[in-house]
Amino acid sequence: MAILRWREMTVKNILVAEPSGRYGDGWMIRVDDGILRVHLCDSQAHGVEWQIFEGQIDCIRYYGILQ
């Protein structure tokens, strides 16, 4: 029997990406130690340089499964 319960912790080491392709366009969403970073690359607007935007995530609630 599995028991579900809430836990709170700092979010870290999460990465979602569509890497830059043939023309250098792409995006990444990273969460490292509670800091959210969005990386954008638009070769037509900014060349091959990545723009980085940061935000803060204090904590996240999730279900932990205990068996």
Give the tens place of pLDDT for each residue, 24-34. 788 888 877 77
pTM of the model: 0.55
Lowest mean pLDDT among 7-11, 13-17, 38-42: 7-11
Q: Which residue has the higher pLDDT, 21 or 1?
A: 21
Distance CA 54, CA 59 (A): 16
